[in-house]
Amino acid sequence: MKTRLIAPSLLSADFGNLQRDIEMLNRSVADWLHIDVMDGRFVPNISFGFPVMKTVKEHSQKFIDVHLMIVEPEKYVEEFISSGADLVSVHYEACTHLHRTVHLIKSKGAKAGVVLNPSTPVGFLEDIITDADLILLMSVNPGFGGQKFIENTYKKIGQLRDLIAKTHSQALIEVDGGVNMENAGKLFDAGADVLVAGNAVFSSESPEETIRHLKA
């Protein structure tokens, strides 16, 4: 059966009740926990740092998926891994030496992901696709939660699926941005393996039930 993983994004959680929300996710059928790290430079917003990351690791029983939306991510990947990240994804657009950064992440015992912004072509991944454990396609412009899904993402999933098949890569396809009950099934059917869901989960009256429906 095809992989259908859900990674709720903590960016949409209640920061005043973070432990409560993490414990809710532990009870749920969510597979991963997605953490967006922003520096106010690569994207126009600032979010989590290392203290919050350590708190998340302390309470979470899920696989921790860290998305670095920062400049010079290679300076920080080791500390995020030592703080509990199981997978660290870096932006193609932020890495001058992407191959080196991907292998640094893997050498420290974590899975390595590469992220593409909506306007970055899938073809740019051709020389890194077999080194990456995951490719994250942004389906909104990164920096803020609650944005509208960019429909061109379906085309990019198809292109990425073809590239993975052609190169015999083992990379999973993750989609982040504007994922909801209406498009989750279509995204899985198009070839996505992992869906990041923020507002759809945390603004729901029953987040655990919503996660179950997103996976269905």
95-119 per-position pLDDT tens digit: 999 999 999 999 999 999 999 999 9
| CA 53 from centroid of its chain's CA atoms | 15
| Catalytic residue (choose from 21, 31, 36, 39) | 36
Q: Residue 36 catalytic?
A: yes
pLDDT of res. 7: 98
Q: Residue 31 catalytic?
A: no
| CA 44 from centroid of its chain's CA atoms | 18
CATH number (domain holding residue 199): 3.20.20.70
Total domains present in the chain: 1
Half-sphere exposure of residue 200, counting CA atoms within 13 Å on the CB side?
26
| Catalytic residue (choose from 39, 133, 176, 193) | 176
Place of tokens 């989960």: 201
Structure tokens belonging to residue 65: 């998926």
Tell me the CA distances in angstroms from 128 to 44, 131, 192, 215, one per residue in order: 27, 5, 19, 29
DSSP 39: B
Range of the domain at 193: 5-215
DSSP 164: H
pLDDT band of residue 130 (cuts 50, 70, 90) is very high
- What would the pLDDT profile of 158-196 be if each residue is shown by its tens digit? 999 999 999 999 999 999 999 999 999 999 999 999 999
Give this prediction's pTM: 0.95
With 60 as the cut, is the pLDDT of residue 1 above it? no
